[in-house]
Structure formats: C-alpha cells, structure tokens
Amino acid sequence: MKIDATGLHYRDLNARVRAAIEAGERELLIENALGQRYIGTGITAPQARIEIFGVPGNDLAAFTDGPRIVVRGNAQDAVGNTMNAGTLVIHGDAGDLLGHSMRGGTIYVKGSAGYRVGIHMKAYGQRFPVVVVGGAVKDYAGEYMAGGLLVVLGQGVPAGEPVAGRYLGTGMHNGEMWVRKPVSAHQLGKEVGQVPIGDAEWETFQTHLAPYCAEFGIDQGQFKREDFVLLRPTSHRPYGTLYVY
Amino acid sequence: MRRWLVQPEFKVERDPARCIQCQVCVRQCANDVHSYDEDDELVSSDGASCVGCHRCATLCPTGAIAIGRSQLDFKPNANWTPENIRNVYKQAEGGGVLLSSMGNDKPWRVYWDHLLLNAAQVTNPSIDPLREPMELVTYLGRKPDQVRVERGPDGKAKLATEIAPQLKLRTPIMFSAMSYGSISYNASRALAQAAAEAGTFANTGEGGLHTDFRPYASNMIVQVASGRFGVDPDYLNIAAAVEIKIGQGAKPGIGGHLPGEKVDAAISRTRMIPQGTDAISPAPHHDIYSIEDLLQLICAIKEATGHRKPVSVKIAAVHNVSAVASGAVRAGADIVAIDGLRGGTGAAPTTIRDNVGIPIELALAAVDSRLREEGIRNRASLVAAGSFRSAADVAKAIALGADAVYIGTAAAVAMGCHLCQRCYTGKCNWGIATQDPFLTKRLNPDVATRRLTNLLRGWSLEIKEMLGGMGVNAIESLRGNREHLRAVGLSDREMAILGVKPAGE
C-alpha cells in the first residue's frame, strides 16, 4: 500500500498507517514524508514493513514493538525512542537522541547521528538493543547506558580524526560501546574504561556487524580490530557509595 | 550500624513485670533491637538501632514495651539542633549524601492549618447529606472551550463537540505514585484493589506494572519517568491514563536510584531490567529539555495510545510552578499533577527533601490563578499532591482550585505505616516499604485494601458533610471557589497569592 504524505498532518498520516496495519496490510510505502512526527510510533505488528521516502519527523518509531522501518533519506531526532523491538534502517543521517532508552531491536544508520545517541539504552532478558552508526556521533553517546551495544564506525571521517564527541558513557553501568579510533581519555565519561579486544569480543562484534554491512552493501572486511576501541563500564553500581544513613 | 559519635534516637524500655519472654518482639524487629538469651532465658532490648516504628510495642501481647525519645540530650541550642549535630557526625563518618524517606518533616508553615472552611447559616440553608444526594463524582481531563449542541435529522439534540478522554472518579481522591520496588508487592496490590473497589485510581509510579495487577489496569495510571522502566506499547495501552513524571515534591530536580539489592526477580521482570542492577532514573528526561520537547512526548504517548487516554504531567511545586504548569497545559497535558514541598518519597537526599520546593497550597493557588488568567484552565484538570492528612485538607485544596488530590503518605499510614522515615533501608517492619519476603508477608493485601477503602469512605463522608454544611450539593460547587475559604494568621501577601480573604472579612 502506498501513502502520499504530501500535505498530510502527522495525525492523519499516522492514522492511515495504523488503520492499514490493523486491516492486515504488511507492506507500506510512504512517499514525500516532510517532517511528520511519530511515524510508526507504538506499532506492534512484527511483520509490518514500512518504507519511507523523504524525511520523517521526530520520534520515528517511538515505543515501537516489532516492525521493520526503512528510511530512504535522513531522519530527525529521537528515532526509536523507548523502542522495544524491530529494525530501523536509516539510509542517511539521524538527529539527536537516536535510540533513547531503547530496550530491544536494531537501529542501523548509514550516515552520522547527533548528540546523546543511545542514551540510557538497556537490555533485559532476550531483549538486546543494537545501534550501529556508520559515520560519526556527537557528545554524550551512551550516557547512563544500562545494556546493549552501541557502535560508531566512523566511515567518511578522515583517519586520525575522532568520530565521537565527549562524555562518552557518562553514568554507564552495563552494555558496551565500540568506537573507531582515535578515542582520547578526555572524551570518556568517568564511569567507563577501555578494555582489550580479545578474539571472543571481536567475533561477537562481527556477528553484529555482518547484518549492518549486508543491509547497506558495505565490505565488512574493511573493519579491523586494531581500528577500534571497546568501552565498558568500570562498575555496575556507579552510585553505590553515594549515601550515608 | 551504630556509629562512633551518633547516639541513639530512641530508648526501648521493657517492663519486666509484664514481659512473658514470648519473643514476639525479637521476631518482629528487622533492626535487631530485641534479642533472646537462651542461657538466661531472657529477652532484652538495645535501643541503639531502634527506628521508632512501634511494631514491637504494637504486637506485644502484654504491653510490656515502651518506646521513648533518648534521654541523652545535647545542651539546648536553637541553632545547632540535635539533628544538625547528628547529621554532621554521620557525614563526617561516611562522607556521603544524607538519605531520608517520607515527606519533609521540618516545621515549614502548613497553610491548610491557616485556612478555614465556610458553612451556611439561615440565608443559604445547609443540606443534610445523609438524606439528600451529594455529588462527589469528578472527571479528570481536558474540557472543551465551549460545548456545541446540534439538532439531528430526527429532531433530537446531540452533542456536537468532541469530548477529550476523561477519568471518572467516584471521589476526588487518588493514590499517588508509589512504585513496585519502593513498596512491596502486597502494598502495591492493596492500592490497586482499593482503587478498583472505590472507583478511583492508583498510580504505578515508575516501576512498571506487575502482570498480576493487570486486572486492575482500568483503575490505574501508569507512569513514564526518565528511566522508562517497564514502558512498552502494552503498558501504555492497558492503563486508564499515562502520567509523565517530570518531578516529585520530595526531590524536585533530581532523579533516583533503586539500589540493585532491591531488584529481585519479580521487580526485574516488572521494570524490564536485569536482576541486581541499579535502576537509575536520570534527573531529566533526556528527550525533554523544553516545553516543546514535553509536547513531543505527550503527543508521542497520545499517538501510541490512539488518543484514547488522558495524559497527565506531574511536576514538583517549585518557584516558577505556574509558568511550568501553563507550559504543560499548552503542550497538551490533559491533567497537571502538582506535588508540593511535603510530598513523600521512598528515598531522597535529606537536604533536598527538606529545603527544595514550595508548599502545595501556594503552588496550587498560583497555578489555578495563572491558568484562569490565561483562559486555559479548562484545558487541563489539576491534581494536588504533597501531604493530605485529612478530609479537611482535601476540601480546602478543592476550594483552592484542585480537581482532585493524590494521597501517598496517608495511604501508607492507612496500611500501617508509622512514619519512622526509614523506607530506604528496605527493612520496613510493617511490610510496606520492603522486598524482604519475611517482612512483606506481614501485610495482608486484602486487609490493607479494606483499610484503604475505609479511609476513602470516611474522608468522602466527611467531604459530603462539609459540602452540605456550606449549602451546596456537589463538589463542583466548591471547586475553585475560594469564597468558601478564610485565612487566619497569614500576611496580606500570602492571602493575595492564595486568593483568600482574612477571617472576619
């Protein structure tokens, strides 16, 4: 089913998307998206496929639980906010707050993303959120992160230039971040540290990288172990000794 | 536990003539105040770790236990109070942030105690609520700017205005947000059951909704807080309403940490976080840095719930509360809940709890006035929170402009809380603020439900009596009607903010 979003208010557009999915439609094509917010928000049909041409607005796929959403262009802020499951593929750049409080599912961004990427992501049970950003990210990536995987590949960023901003993983207490080198100590939050990349870590990383590379037709072999820094929290209880009674 | 310079707060006295060595007190105290010496066959007590919760004294079959304040007093000093001195000792010892539970216990002015309600005499006869209908039903949610009625083709009048989703309360009292985690399973169950029985609402707090409580979801408000614990589309859609928690009266401007020790298997499932990890709620929502961002989350929740649920925004009463409330209403909040200076908590830094925020009475009056001045009062209902101790407090809040109130501490007290203010230790002897199975089983959820519904019934009857005395027969007639209030002992400026006249005028 094809929906032309030209001139549509977000409520009308999203009502049509929801009605179509409730009626059993599983393949939706949205054309001419122009900043309409909340596309795919709260959608729980795991087999639904939504392809978007144009630029979807903020909170794309917020609280989403299952569908696959592909954006053939750039996305704005808060993509996958508090997302539970599903796959989001952004063929351009994404804005701030990508994957905020995400509990499960996968977000692949071909280009770069803004500030506060993957902030407060958390894993639980079978749910394990994965965010892979092809280009660079700004400050506060992975802040308060409580689980999952955040990857910054740095494609298109000249070698020797940092691909992430500062305050990486501030308050982080679970999960891990892979960031292309160089990563300087001053970029790290107080609660994270760099850990050596062993064979096991690298192999697991490859299993997360493979579907990303397949999605965008990128050569996986170009990513070398020595090009990456693996960041993990230094404590699972960063604020455990804060109080007196 | 006992620190070098910190002397006990309480002393425990046992009357040897009455004590029968039954050891009930030994089993009941999670703080190990009482012990039994098998060689001497004697129960004895050490008051050093007593928190003053009265569990032992209440359950002692012979009334042998008396608990009093420690007689070891400091030299009187109006500036350096014993509490100030003790706190310095504690921090000198531990080097951390002082933690407290329950609401602000400092003697800030309680404005309810300076406001008096009106009653009718002769000219506007009073009404007897025992014999005449007295309406307490309250609807929370956005009210239309105007109501249009059209005549259909069949000649019958029809409502042409679309009415926003509303919560229907049989009495204008709801149970405030208390998360499963901060309180026990049995306490959470009792609040949910009582709300369903009494036709009102219980708020889940930010700890998620336990699957066992889903049958009560139509009487529950679910919270979306900065940690987003347990929030998924199902959680948003199953409840009667969704509340975005921006702030809490006991700790405005700061977040919270549920320590990993309290995150057991069931809490882990409900919050959707791994067992044993800290549940960290950051101070701000990371997707809300402005009113526009708040609007975005409100709209996202409305989109995710098909615009079928009212969305509430809970804010702490702070200096610019009326501007914030106005922004929240303009951002699309259907309900604005305001939590005042004396609002309770499971754990908050003492210095924040005792010194940050403003009293709910002033905040409520200021917000109600501001929304009226801006002509947007109808767009959202106001819920006041922050220590309602009696039906009179509730009636005064309604007269100041609240549509309904949230009670948290009063509900806990109804279930047996003795306000010892040690929720953060997780050793609640009354089985309310603990996850220890030995302690939680002390609270029978069905008995607690009955106590909660009894409290709501008692307060509702009292509100009806007060309404009848004023000569009105519906809570709507009192709502925002400050002519029914008079002040005693307040300054002109305070009365101006409250919008009330002095008694006698």
- Is the pLDDT reported for residue B423 higher than 90? yes
Is B111 domain-assigned? no
Is B105 domain-assigned? no
- Pair (B64, B183) in one structural domain: no
Q: Which residues span the domain enclosing B205?
A: 169-478
Q: Give the model's confidence band at B260: pLDDT under 50 very low, under 70 low, under 90 confident, else very high.
A: confident
- Pair (B92, B173) in one structural domain: no
Tell if the CB–CB gap between B277 and A173 is shorter than 8 Å.
Answer: yes
pLDDT of residue B3: 61
Please give the residue of chain B at the shortest CA–CA distance from A117: B286
Residue type, B270: T
pLDDT of residue B262: 83
A115 touches chain B (CB under 8 A): no
Q: Mutation target for A interface from B87, B286, B297: give the one with most A CBs within 10 A.
A: B286
Angle, helices B445-470 vs B391-400, to 10°: value is 50
- Pair (B230, B379) in one structural domain: yes
If one counts the domains in chain B, the total is: 2
* ipTM score: 0.94
DSSP state of A188: B
DSSP state of B227: T
- Is the pLDDT reported for residue A236 higher than 80? no
Q: Mutation target for A interface from B206, B278, B422: give the one with most A CBs within 10 A.
A: B278
Contacts of A10 in chain B (CB under 8 A): 303
pLDDT of residue A239: 76
Task: Tell me the per-residue pLDDT of A60-105, one tens digit each, with 9 for 90 and over.
Answer: 999 999 999 999 999 999 999 999 999 999 999 999 999 999 999 9
- Is the pLDDT reported for residue A162 higher than 90? yes
Q: Could you tell me the CATH number of the domain that includes residue B346?
A: 3.20.20.70
Please give the residue of chain B at the shortest CA–CA distance from A102: B228
Least Cα separation, residue B232 to chain A (angstroms):
6
Contacts of B282 in chain A (CB under 8 A): 120, 144, 171
- Pair (B297, B386) in one structural domain: yes
Whole-angstrom distance, CA of residue B434 vs CA of residue B441: 10
CB–CB of B315/B325 below 8 Å? yes
Is B279 domain-assigned? yes
Q: Give the model's confidence band at A241: pLDDT under 50 very low, under 70 low, under 90 confident, else very high.
A: confident
Task: Tell me the per-residue pLDDT of A95-139, one tens digit each, with 9 for 90 and over.
Answer: 999 999 999 999 999 999 999 999 999 999 899 999 999 999 999
- Pair (B365, B461) in one structural domain: yes
Is B493 domain-assigned? no
Is B260 domain-assigned? yes
Q: Could you tell me the CATH number of the domain that includes residue B64?
A: 3.30.70.20
- Pair (B86, B175) in one structural domain: no
CB–CB of B128/B140 below 8 Å? no
Give me the phi and psi of B220, to 5 degrees please.
Answer: -125, 145
Q: For residue A143, which of B315, B178, B255 has the smallest C-alpha distance?
A: B255
- Pair (B59, B176) in one structural domain: no
- Is the pLDDT reported for residue B356 higher than 70? yes
- Pair (B215, B298) in one structural domain: yes
Is B470 domain-assigned? yes
Please give the residue of chain A at the shortest CA–CA distance from B274: A124
Is B223 domain-assigned? yes
> Which among B96, B227, B237 has the least Cβ separation from residue A242?
B96
- Pair (B83, B184) in one structural domain: no
Please give the residue of chain B at the shortest CA–CA distance from A237: B278
Task: Tell me the per-residue pLDDT of B306-338, one tens digit each, with 9 for 90 and over.
Answer: 999 999 999 999 999 999 999 999 999 999 999
Is B415 domain-assigned? yes
pLDDT of residue B1: 45
Least Cα separation, residue B94 to chain A (angstroms):
6
pLDDT of residue A240: 73
A46 touches chain B (CB under 8 A): no
pLDDT of residue B2: 52
Where is the domain boundary, B96, B118, B147? B96
For chain B, give the mean pLDDT: 95
Contacts of B6 in chain A (CB under 8 A): none
> Which among B277, B300, B306 has the least Cβ separation from residue A62?
B300
Least Cα separation, residue B51 to chain A (angstroms):
12
Contacts of A173 in chain B (CB under 8 A): 277-278, 280
For chain A, give the mean pLDDT: 96
pLDDT of residue B256: 85
Tell if the CB–CB gap between A245 and B282 is shorter than 8 Å.
Answer: no
Which residues are registered as beta bridge partners of A72? A53
Least confident of B47-51, B279-283, B289-293: B279-283
- Pair (B78, B207) in one structural domain: no
> In sequence order, which residues have a C-beta less than 8 Å from that of residue A178 and are 6 or more positions away?
A149, A150, A151, A152, A205, A228, A229, A230, A231
pLDDT of residue B6: 86
Least confident of B125-139, B205-219, B256-270: B256-270
